């Protein structure tokens, strides 16, 4: 470690560690001790970026930290609510990160997978299909005793997650198919269109009667019962069953957030594992090669079709998984949730955090969930509280949100924690972006700069 980098690391740590501790305690409401430990992890990683033992120790420590975290806080408190949401959205952001960050396929329709996952929960974890099952008794499989007596189709959460993963993987590949010949922004347009189409179908799904479907109408009616339709339309579907596992007595409660948090944590750990392993695998390298230069990747023998479709499929599967979880947590599946805004919300997390960088994506998810679900709602009474002003900020919420997006991007266009490879290109002028050599980034616009 040369003196120059040492100084730089010190500076980064001096800014980043207090910032994280203050963000976690002051804004999120985390326990001070837990926040300090978190800061310690970050500092350890900053000072020993390449030390394998430190990395393993920090990883194990962070997992234990994350498991202990809910027991240090009020089980129904604000912090637990935000923490659970951050985890659930992190799953989606990490999924989208595979498509956009690794493979470089700009996807503006990620809401489609959230919608499909949530719809699976609506179909298979509620009384929506009230006439399903022989004699209209409903279909039950591995559910809590209390749920056994309800109408409709009720399957175990884990089974629904599996169904959602399969459905979303297939849907992701289908959506990917028309984009295979396209590049850049054209992919964005097609995915955006699919996102809107699926949103529309869910919103108007109460008009789609299975009995009217050609050929398979009869079979669908047998499965889902008389008069079954595709979705609840604007009314939505609810209530969705709470998560229940065979080893727990009762389903999860809305007011005890610890089990919800732990389930979300398991999902995040799973997704993180997949992300890290994929990034360093043959497939992950193929994705990054594809992102950097498609023609060069193809001529080095990367199978374009397979590689692209696998990116879409993997990313979509995580979106579906998080969709089932959020549907069960919010207990409702409503067409209004599936707006274009949602895709942008997730995309903003990964761009803000730093495209392709796993740590960055997690921080991006944390910051944006905090802004969207806590900062802006909390802001409303602040003028009165602080300045005794009679000003209602709830009317300004989307402007504040937009303003924060603009400011964050203008101040740090490469994201909070840029991926190492990209950082080298952008700041240190190694490889593709090299123009002026040492020191400052080039001030001349290079219009070629691509994501």
Q: Of residues 50, 52, 181, 390, which one binds other proteins by CB under 8 A?
A: 181
Buried b (16+ CB within 10 A) or exposed e, 112-151: bbbbbbbbbbbbbbbbbbbbbbeeeebbbeebbeebeebb
Give whichever of 159 and 177 is closer to other proteins, judged by the CB atom.
177
CB 111 within 8 A of CB 338: yes
Longest dimension (CA), the chain: 77
- Per-residue binder mask for other proteins (CB under 8 A), 328-367, x = binder: ------------x---x--xx--xx--x------------
Least distance from other proteins to the Cβ atom of residue 445, Å: 4
| 186 touching other proteins, by CB under 8 A | yes
Q: Of residues 215, 255, 410, 438, which one binds other proteins by CB under 8 A?
A: 410
| 98 touching other proteins, by CB under 8 A | no
Task: Give the angle subtended at the CA of 403 by the CAs of 399 and 404, to the nearest 5°.
Answer: 120
Pairing of strands 139-141, 153-155: parallel
CB 168 within 8 A of CB 116: yes
Count the neighbouring beta carbons within 10 Å of the beta carbon of residue 15: 10
Least distance from other proteins to the Cβ atom of residue 40, Å: 31
Contact segment (CB under 8 A) with other proteins among 62-70, 90-98, 124-132, 194-202 equals 194-202
Q: Of residues 128, 194, 287, 370, which one binds other proteins by CB under 8 A?
A: 194
| 116 touching other proteins, by CB under 8 A | no
CA distances from 116 to 85, 198, 349 (A): 19, 8, 21
Q: Of residues 39, 79, 151, 196, which one binds other proteins by CB under 8 A?
A: 196
Q: Of residues 192, 257, 263, 417, which one binds other proteins by CB under 8 A?
A: 192
The 8-class DSSP code of residue 417 comes to: S
Q: Of residues 10, 68, 182, 254, which one binds other proteins by CB under 8 A?
A: 182
Count the neighbouring beta carbons within 10 Å of the beta carbon of residue 98: 30
CA distances from 239 to 124, 148, 208, 232, 263 (A): 12, 15, 21, 12, 20
**406 alpha carbon, distance to own chain's centre:** 21
| 173 touching other proteins, by CB under 8 A | no
- Per-residue binder mask for other proteins (CB under 8 A), 376-395, x = binder: -------------------x
| 179 touching other proteins, by CB under 8 A | yes
| 402 touching other proteins, by CB under 8 A | yes
Q: Of residues 149, 281, 398, 436, which one binds other proteins by CB under 8 A?
A: 398
| 72 touching other proteins, by CB under 8 A | no
| 445 touching other proteins, by CB under 8 A | yes
| 184 touching other proteins, by CB under 8 A | yes
- Per-residue binder mask for other proteins (CB under 8 A), 198-217, x = binder: --xx-xx-------------
* Closest C-alpha to 190, from 251, 99, 128: 99
Contact segment (CB under 8 A) with other proteins among 120-128, 241-249, 261-269, 439-447 equals 439-447
Q: Of residues 397, 421, 424, 432, which one binds other proteins by CB under 8 A?
A: 397
Contact segment (CB under 8 A) with other proteins among 53-61, 66-74, 323-331, 438-446 equals 438-446
- Starting at the edge strand found earlier in the chain, the sheet holding 125-126 runs 125-126, 153-155, 139-141
> CA–CA separation, 408 vs 200, rounded Å?
32
Q: What stretch of H or E contains 312?
A: helix 304-330
Give whichever of 4 and 410 is closer to other proteins, judged by the CB atom.
410
- Name the CA dihedral angle for 194, 195, 199, 205, rounded to a multiple of 10 degrees: 30
Structure token pair of residue 37: 């430990």
> CA–CA separation, 374 vs 19, rounded Å?
18
**What is the binding site for other proteins (CB under 8 A)?**
100, 106, 178-179, 181-186, 188-190, 192-194, 196-197, 200-201, 203-204, 340, 344, 347-348, 351-352, 355, 395-399, 401-406, 409-410, 413-414, 422, 426, 441-447, 449-451
């Amino acid at each position: 470690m040369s003196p120059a980098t040492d100084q730089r690391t010190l500076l980064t740590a001096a800014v980043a560690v207090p910032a994280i501790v203050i963000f976690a305690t002051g804004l999120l409401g985390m326990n001070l001790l837990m926040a300090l430990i978190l800061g310690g992890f970050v500092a350890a990683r900053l000072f020993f970026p390449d030390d394998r033992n430190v990395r393993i120790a920090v990883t194990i420590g962070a997992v234990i930290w994350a498991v202990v975290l809910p027991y240090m806080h009020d089980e129904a408190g604000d912090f637990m609510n935000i923490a659970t949401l951050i985890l659930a959205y992190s799953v989606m952001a990490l999924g989208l990160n595979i498509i956009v960050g690794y493979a470089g396929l700009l996807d503006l329709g990620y809401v489609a997978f959230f919608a499909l996952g949530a719809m699976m929960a609506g179909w298979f974890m509620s009384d929506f299909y009230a006439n399903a099952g022989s004699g209209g008794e409903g279909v039950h499989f591995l559910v809590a005793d209390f749920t056994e007596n309800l109408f409709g189709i009720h399957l175990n959460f884990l089974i629904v997650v599996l169904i959602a993963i399969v459905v979303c993987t297939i849907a992701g590949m289908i959506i990917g198919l028309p984009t295979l010949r396209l590049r850049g922004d054209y992919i964005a347009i097609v995915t955006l269109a699919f996102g809107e189409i699926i949103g529309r179908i869910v919103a108007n799904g109460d008009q789609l009667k299975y009995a009217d479907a050609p050929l398979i109408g009869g079979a669908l009616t047998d499965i889902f019962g008389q008069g079954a339709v595709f979705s609840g339309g604007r009314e939505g579907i609810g209530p969705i069953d709470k998560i229940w596992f065979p080893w727990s007595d009762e389903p999860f409660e809305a007011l005890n957030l610890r089990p919800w948090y732990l389930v979300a944590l398991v999902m995040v750990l799973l997704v993180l594992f997949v992300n890290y392993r994929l990034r360093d695998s043959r497939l992950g390298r193929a994705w990054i090669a594809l992102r950097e230069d498609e023609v060069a990747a193809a001529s080095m023998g990367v199978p374009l079709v397979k590689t692209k479709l696998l990116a879409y499929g993997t990313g979509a599967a995580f979106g579906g998984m998080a969709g089932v979880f959020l549907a069960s947590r919010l207990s409702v599946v409503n067409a209004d949730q599936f707006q274009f805004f949602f895709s942008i919300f997730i995309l903003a997390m990964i761009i803000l955090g730093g495209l392709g960088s796993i740590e960055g994506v997690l921080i991006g998810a944390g910051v944006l969930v905090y802004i969207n679900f806590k900062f802006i709602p909390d802001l409303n009474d602040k003028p009165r509280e602080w300045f005794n002003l009679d000003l209602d900020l709830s009317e300004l919420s989307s402007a504040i949100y937009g303003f924060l997006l603009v400011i964050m991007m203008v101040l740090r266009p490469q994201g909070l924690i840029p991926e190492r490879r990209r950082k080298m290109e952008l700041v240190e002028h190694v490889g593709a972006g090299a123009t002026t050599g040492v020191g400052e980034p080039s001030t001349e616009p290079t219009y070629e700069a691509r994501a």
